[in-house]
Amino acid sequence: MIMENKATEAVKRRYNRIAPFYDLMMDLAERFRFSQWRELLWSKVEGENILEVGVGTGKNFPYYPADCEIKAIDFSGKMLKRAQDKVSQQKMKVHLQQIDVQNLEFEDNTFDTITASFVFCSVPDPVRGLMEIERVCKPGGKVVLLEHVLSANRIIGWLMNLTNPLVLRIVGSNINRQTVANVTKSNLVIEQITDLGVGIFKLIEARRKTL
C-alpha cells in the first residue's frame, strides 16, 4: 500500500511539473489527429450526467456536449488550475474537483457516461482506477476511453517496453500499458474497440453490466 502511495505521489509530481508546458507539448499531436479523436470520443457519450476522469488542462472542453451536467476530476492540482482558468475564461458549466481515480469520492451508480483520454497510461494502479469507474457508473452506463497501448507488433512492442522507463520518467506516462486487458479485469464489458492508428491508439467503448 505504501509503495502504491509513493507511486501515486511520483506521478502527481510529474504532472504538476509538466502542467505549464502541457498544452504546448500537445500542440503538434492535436493538429495531427488528437483533436479529431477527441471529437469522436465525445460523440459517443450518452445521458446527461457525465464524469471526465484525468481532465488535465481541459483539452476536451471544446468537445463537451451542451446541456449535460459534467464533472471533471484530476489528481494534479497544477493541471487542474490550468483547466480552471479555461473554465473561468470561457464561462463553462463544468465542475472541477481534485480527486484520484483510484479512490473516487462519488456514490455508487452516479454517472450515465464516464470518459477519459490518455489517462490510464499514467494511473499507477489502472485496474483499481477502472474498478472505481465501474462502481460509480450507473448499471448499463457507458465508459469511453481514448488511450495509447502497447503495440501487438513484436518489434515495436519490444521497443516500447525498452524505452518505457525513460518516457515514464520524463512525462509520467507509460507507453506499454495493456489497457484493453485492464478494462476487462475491471468487470466492465467491452462493446467496441476502434483502432485509430498503428495499433497503438484505441477508442475503447465499454459498459457497466446491468444489476
Q: How many Å apart are CA 47 and CA 69, to the nearest integer?
A: 9
Per CB under 6 A, the segment of 62-70, 89-97, 118-126, 182-190 that binds ligand SAM is 118-126
Residue 139, SS3?
Answer: strand
Per CB under 6 A, the segment of 85-93, 111-119, 159-167, 197-205 that binds ligand SAM is 111-119
Cα torsion 81, 122, 25, 195 to 10°: value is -120
> Total residues at the site for ligand SAM (CB under 6 A)?
20
Select 123 or 168, whichever has its Cβ closest to ligand SAM. 123
User: Which one, of 208, 157, 201, 149, lies nearest residue 175 by Cα?
Assistant: 149
140 close to 206: Cβ distance less than 8 angstroms: no
| Footprint (CB under 6 A) of ligand SAM, residues 20-79 | 54-56, 59, 74-76, 79
Select 173 or 186, whichever has its Cβ closest to ligand SAM. 173
Beta strand residue intervals within 169-211, DSSP E: 189-197, 201-207
Residue reference for cell 472542453: 61
User: Which one, of 210, 161, 193, 201, lies nearest residue 32 by Cα?
Assistant: 201
Q: Which of 113, 122, 174, 182 binds ligand SAM (CB under 6 A)?
A: 122
Q: Which of 123, 127, 149, 203 binds ligand SAM (CB under 6 A)?
A: 123
Q: Which of 173, 176, 179, 186 binds ligand SAM (CB under 6 A)?
A: 173
Interface residue list for ligand SAM (CB under 6 A): 11, 15, 54-56, 59, 74-76, 79, 100-102, 117-119, 122-123, 129, 173
